[in-house]
Amino acid sequence: DAGITQSPRHKVTETGTPVTLRCHQTENHRYMYWYRQDPGHGLRLIHYSYGVKDTDKGEVSDGYSVSRSKTEDFLLTLESATSSQTSVYFCAISRDPGNTIYFGEGSWLTVV
Amino acid sequence: GNSVTQMEGPVTLSEEAFLTINCTYTATGYPSLFWYVQYPGEGLQLLLKATKADDKGSNKGFEATYRKETTSFHLEKGSVQVSDSAVYFCALSDRASGGSYIPTFGRGTSLIVHP
C-alpha cells in the first residue's frame, strides 16, 4: 500500500469555522491532489499540486485553499465551512503525469 | 476539456455472471486509461491500466482494452464473485493546459453481486 495518511479521518464542525485537512505521504511523489466525493457527483478535483509551493485549482475550488510547503505534506483548508462542504475528502498522489494515482483512506467531514 | 462517461448503475448480477461496464472518453491528447475500484469505507485503488492504443490491462480476472478508434475502455470479467461488489471508476490522465496532467474520473458504477 502507498504510504498516504489523512488526518483527521472524521470531523464534525460548525458552520463558519475554518477546517484544515492534512495529507501526508512517505512516497516522495511529486503530484498530490485533493478530491471530494459526493453521491451523484462522483469524484471532483478541488486543488492539486505539482511540486513544493506549486498548486493549481480544480473544478470545485471555491471556498477551499491549499498549501504545500514540503514534498510530503498537502493541506486543504476550508476557510469558512458551509453545510455544502459536508463530504468525504480524498487525498491522492502520483509519481508523474499519466501514472497510477494512489488514494488515501478518506476524511469524513460533517458541517452542522 | 477531458471527460469520462460510464454507464449508470447499480449493476446487479448473480454470482458467476459475465460483467461489462462501459466507459467512453474524450481527451485532447493521448491519455493513459485506468479502472479503479472502491470498496465500502475505503479509498480508490488501481484495478488495471493501459497506456496506449490496443493495450489490454488485466488484473484479478478483470480486463479492459484501450480502443482509440471508439474512444472506449470497457471493463469485463467472465465470472463475477460476491467479493467483487464495489464501485468501479473509469479514469484518464492527459496533459492539461500549462503542462500539468489532470486526472479525470467518471462518476462510478456500483456493482452488486448476489450469491
pLDDT tens per residue, chain B (115 residues)? 788 999 888 999 999 999 999 999 998 778 899 999 999 888 999 999 999 999 999 999 999 999 999 999 999 999 999 999 999 999 998 765 555 567 889 999 999 999 9
Cβ-based contacts of A97 with chain B (< 8 Å) = 93, 95, 100-101
Question: How many Å is the Cα radius of gyration of chain B?
Answer: 14
How far is the C-alpha of B9 from the C-alpha of A22, rounded, in Å? 32
Q: Does residue A99 carry a pLDDT above 70?
A: yes
Per residue in A50-78, pLDDT (tens digit) is 999 999 999 899 999 999 999 999 999 99
Cβ-based contacts of B44 with chain A (< 8 Å) = 43, 90, 92, 101, 103
| Pairing assessment for the beta strands A107-111 and A10-13 based on DSSP bridges | parallel
Per residue in B87-101, pLDDT (tens digit) is 999 999 876 555 556
Cβ distance A41 to B107 less than 8 Å, yes or no, reads yes
